[in-house]
Structure 1
Amino acid sequence: MGVGPVNSIYTSSDLVNWTKIYGGSGSLNGVTYGNGTFIVVGNRGDIFQNIDMYKITYNGNGSTGGTMPTDSNPYAQNATVTVLGNTGSLVKTGNTFAGWNTAANGTGTPYVANATFGMGAANVTLYAQWKANPTYTVTYNGNGSTGGTVPTDSNPYEQNATVTVLGNTGSLVKTGSTFAGWNTAANGTGTPYAANATFGMGAANVTLYAQWTVNPTYTVTYNGNGSTGGTVPTDSNPYEQNATVTVLGNTGSLVKTGNTFAGWNTAANGSGTSYVAGATFTMAAANVTLYAQWTVNPTYTVTYNGNGSTGGTVPTDSNPYEQNATVTVLGNTGSLVKTGSTFAGWNTAANGTGTPYAANATFGMGAANVTLYAQWTVNPTNTVTYNGNGSTGGTVPTDSNPYEQNATVTVLGNTGSLVKTGNTFAGWNTAANGSGTSYVAGATFTMAAANVTLYAQWTANSGGGSGGIPTPPDDSKVISENGELSLPAGKTGEVSLGNAITIDIPANATDKELKLTIKQLTGTQDLLTDEDVLASPIIEILKNFSENFSKPVSLTFKFDPTKLSGNKRVVVFYYDEVQKKWVEVGGVVRGNQITAEVTHFTKFAVMVVGQATSEPEPTINFSDLSEHWAKASIKQAVSSGIVTGYQDGTFKPDKTVTRAEFAVMLMNALKTERAGAALTFTDTAKIGSWAQKEVAQAVQTGIINGYEDGTFRPAGEITRAEMAAMIARALGKYSEANATTTSFADDKDIPMWAKAAVAYVKQASIVQGKGDNQFAPGDHATRAEAVTVLLNMLAQKSK
């Protein structure tokens, strides 16, 4: 303690540094010290004694930075203390300075800077008070992610703290989208942040939402690239860039004519990238079109070779054929011919050792061109031999020519001066007894499928010989062009109607005078069906007698070739008035004309038919007809269903006919629909099942009565008298023919029960007599005679 100027009192603890503790108006006179106490005596009698002094200490109370304020003043009790502020910028991590407190935990007296308080009797420590700062979080949200994990930021952030935005550390993904950073709003309307961006923390938690950019998608389209059938595959998947695409196969069975599917390519012309089914590629940033690729199929040709043909032209097939394509073999459309041979189809080898094919046959094309060679069957040839037939001198002519079937033979004259004692040479005949076809020198005939022998015919000179053979008529031909002809018996004739038809009548075709008329019919719809195709007008030929010609008559028709197409052909048909249908005759085509031979007249027409008829002509298969006198009638009867041939290919025209056989023929001709009567013959069991129905029908209609002993005798050979009686009954004319004489030379041999029938069938020209006007009632009828008589019956019935 010391006394200072102006009556002030100072204290010091170290005698160096002094602190003024009093400054009054009185005068201080000195200081005394005793017993550890200083006493100051003032001039007014004041006595001052020193007192205890206290200090203020500031404590950072956990501060982590800055310095604590320092108050070096000693404070006497009751002295006024002015609290210092945070002059040393104390800080404490995570906290804010909040003043001072006499207790560290804040339970004492709080003071703010510049606050005052009276010093107590003890030192005072003021503790800095800290208010913990509020912290906020940053949360990451996948915002619809479909994979990966969101980043985690576990740091607490005070307001204004700097936040560093995390990247997509958890590899978040969202199908069809690409990660595009973060945003404070899910819909992207807030603040966007990229990885490592920073922002100052506000006074609230922050959620950062993943942002997604929808990936662009691309399509794969398949293009048929000229396909002619099937459908292109469809890939409806959207592909993102870098997605893997699996290429489809030809699932829609695309086809292109003449080509084979060969995969896909990104360019229509194949210059791009090629893919096969099941291949994969990575999608780029553009749509992809895959074009079908086509490999042109190799094609092969079919060539026709005449193989030695001497005429006509080979068919031409200009079609290209792929392997396994079906080839339809052409017919002989160019009328190929080879002298001495008949066309017999095609073969893949010229010598016939390959595969044979007929017209319209089919085969699968291989992997090479095909040549089909015409095949030729050497035509069988037949000879014409001349026989002197009892000549007594001279030599027979010799014809060394081989003749094919249908070849024209010119009959030789008596070039070797044949003679026969008591006779005059009278031409030739196919039968020694003159019952065949007669020919004079220079006459022609068509060669059949058998050798021909021509027998010299002799006319007995006057006064000797047996006679009986007429002198051949002269060979002058009567010709008419107006469709009408009158022809003396035995003469040759020719009649035509414009250029529609020409009829040639050979000599001795009939022993009657012939009156013939040709008519071209109109309004013929009722005669035709929808399937009938005419290539000529319908021609009706009429004559003045009902019996057939004894020799074939030639009919030549002009037809319209434009009616033909493809593998069609023309054929002559006649109209069956009984069955009301057209029956095929056949014919030989030359240019736009066709010729056929017939023995009867009716309605005729040329019609278009297919390449092959549904049934072969029966007579073609009969090997034993040759030049038989009834050949044409037999053909007509077979076509009409009256009779059939034998399984060995013969007809057996001269075989006798049983009663059962004739009953079947007769009822086939009449086409009756009756059920038939019950058979009561004692030998019914002997009637074959094949004939029982027809015999029963004949009994029911009164055609058959049987014998007086109750038998039918089915196996018995029918006589000419029995045949005449059955025909007369069938026509209902039996009772009308009441003649007691028949005018046949052997009338006395004809049974009385048959005379009326024989008289009728003769008068109706159904049955003719034999030589010398003999009826021969007991002779057995042959198959040829039976069909001829039945055809005459039908002709009479249709009148």
Structure 2
Amino acid sequence: MFKLLRKSLSIIMALSVFLSLCSVAAAASDRIKFKLEERVEGRPGYTISVPIEVDVPSDGLFYDYNVFLKSDVPVTDAYWGQWSEDGTRIDLSIRIADEAPSGNYQVEFDRSQMWVKKGTTSENLELTTEYDTEIGVIAVKKLVYVGKVSGSAGGYVEVPVFTNSTEPISAYGVTLSYDRNLFEVAEVSGVGEGELTFIEDEEEGLIVNWNNEGNSSVLMTNGPLFKVKFKIKAVDPIDYIPLDLYINTLLDDSGEIMYGVDSRMGYISVTENQAPSADNVNVTGTPHVGETLQGDYTFADEESDAEGVSTFKWYRANDAAGAAEAMIAGADTKEYVLQQEDKDKYIRFEVTPIAVSGTLAGTSKTSVWTGPIGVPTYQVLYEANGATQGDVPADSSAYVTGQEATVLGNTGHLAKAGHTFGGWTTDEANLEAVYAAGDLLPIESTNRTLYAKWDLNRYQVNFNTNGGSAVPSVEADYDTLIAEPQRPSRSGYSFSGWYKEATLTDKWTFASDKVVADTTLYAGWSQNSQGGGGGAPAPAGPAASEQGLDVLVNGKGESAAKADTKTENGLKKTVVTVDGAKLESKLNEEKAGGTLTVPVAVQSDSVEVEFEAGTMKALQQKQMVIVLQTPGGTYSLPASQIDLQAVSGLFGSNVSPEGIKVRLKIAKPSESQGKTVQGAITQEGLTLVGEALEFTVEAAYGERSLEIASFSSYVERSIVLPSGTGPNRITTGVTIDPDGTVRHVPTKVVQENGRYQAIFNSLTNSTYAVVWNPVSFADVARHWAKDAVNEMGARLIIDGIGDNQFKPDLAVSRAEFTAIVVRALGLKQAKGAASSYSDVSATAWFSGAIESAKAYKLVGGFEDGTFRPEEKLTREQAVVILANAMELTGLNDKLSVPTDPMKRLGSFTDAGQVSEWARKAMAAAVEAGLVNGQKNNLIAAQSQITRAEVALIIQRLLEKSNLI
């Protein structure tokens, strides 16, 4: 005799049953065994019973067990029967899910969850693994069934017909029985390919047939077969109208009849005919007296009844709360012209939707109040009128007719090559009166535009005859030719022409070379033969290795530098040394905020300019931008980017900033570096355009030097592209790191003097190059974001998902968005860095991007130390990261966002759904034009942002930040 202490059972819902001590008959086996019925068959939507039996050995021991089952059969309900008196059998009742796919589902005991104890008494039970289990099968039958739907009287309803068969179907024929007095077939549509036919039989009903036309790849499995659209003829609500289904034929993928297939009826519930509605009621237009407001709304009717003659009203109130609200007499159309009596009032629009049939009139809906109604205001706009650099002034004031605006000066340091700013005029041709800073401009009933006036510069051309007879200087307008002067003479020499440099390298061609600055031309001489000797005559002039160099302080030449050009190991190197005393004296005469240009015309493999600490401080005090200009490229570095105190500390605590020298350098890569660049670009499938250049800033102290590789804001440098290269062959700029990593750098292309230049903006120094990388994703060919997606792809900012697909409407994760922002801003990823977040592995593809974004304060984690990289991003979450990026690019500095961000967001109908922590960022993004409302004037802050939306806002970020 043995003892049975306790049994329990669990499946899906973790149900359990505990029994008290009892005795059972002995089983034949020597181990306890748990058994399931070998096969139990059931239909979707029906309840079946699954018996469970326990064989207990006849060993006279006590047993206590807890039994768990597991299966992936789809179930909607499960409940237990009663244990048999001896505790060795129980029935589990489960309801198979309505849409459970057909097939055999294995049911087994979950040994990881269950346990068995045994012992000689009830007090000394111990766990044991010495027990056996047998699996069972629940067979879900094949089924063709009708859906359960509802629709309103007089409207339309779509009824789907499904199959749960997981075996492929090559043809079917079914009959759907319906009440002709209540429904009328409007449309029958098949799912997928193949041939679908149907007929309406007065006695049997709707007969639908389909076959795959012999195409083995066109088969039906486990899903909808077809849909029937009914017109509801009933006029009164009816809770339940059955739709019976009969299977005429069902063939498998071999064309054989499928047996044992059940059918299940469906039904239609008819509800009351719904009244029409007016949704998204709003008012558009300028809220100024004399302007026209437009009332807008969306007409909707549940039964698709057409709109009739809806009625409209307009109301006026004293404030946004509707105080003293009154209907405006005679305003009964969708348009309303604001009257003088509306000034300082609030206006709203009301619509009563009317349908042509069914329930005719819906509930009146009103818009929010628009106001206060003001008088028209106008702006004063400034136009650069051909300027080649600088920014136009911005007057944010709003003026009314009769006011006077104070004219601004050239606060944005506009400049035009070869011209001097001469004030502002009201016409582009500069024929009207000239306005200077501080003058008053009368405001009329329109915006006023002031155009920059540019006076053509005249330059002096001097002739250095190098020991020959004097040649008088001449004057010439900017970008004009000069006539060749009378040739000088020199005893014992023959004149060989005029040269552009003291080194007598490049000849001046009077037929084509134009004057663009104060210029000195140098005479070249050939010594006459002295007889008896031999050999070619030698040119005369200054030594070729060193020459004086004019630097430009705010465009004006100053003889304050020397250029020394030497050739070492086959490489030509030019070093410019600045006369600090002369330059500092000149800077004392200048206003703050200009440029120091160091123009080096000689073709060299390497060009550098060196500044003493005192000179650098003087440049910083005048907020100057240092521009190193070479035939191959230009480096523009704000002097403020060099922190002499911090740099001196890198050389040692006892090193004074006064002993530091700063060098700017532009150089072609060495032969080995050039191979690395070409190999890296080819490896990425890109095409190199022109030559790569290295841009470097060094600090030197004595014989030691170190590189200043990063900056606090974007620094501009450019590469001149080969002659004949057009913008259609330029995609973007890239940097090539020493390890061969190629990454995008924000790049724009401009044309100057007939040649194109690629202008890079970056926070770091590196090797830069221009590449050609056209991209055209196939699945965005007709998408609204096509241009943004393809451009961001071409710029190496976003990637496709393979097979030339982009999937523009997929949601974006936090990790994906962070990586895209990092690439867009040209930030170097922190490869190999330890992860700052517990759920980001250092080996994850996005780890480097997340660490870089964290370092630049673009992103942060959560309070629990996680980053949640796979979590999908909402629009407002994306905008918060975007606002941090705007801070880095300097775009935030150009915005004027109200202290209360809701004042900027209030025009959106769902502005209240923007989380409080995201409102400031959202308002800034809207103000900058990076984020616009969606359909029906929604900001959709809680919606998941899509890949297409990301491409567009990143493109706008770079454009608005003037980085591309």
TM-score category (smaller protein): under 0.3
TM-score (norm 2): 0.22
Larger radius of gyration: 1
Q: TM-score, normalised by structure 1?
A: 0.26
Higher strand share: 2
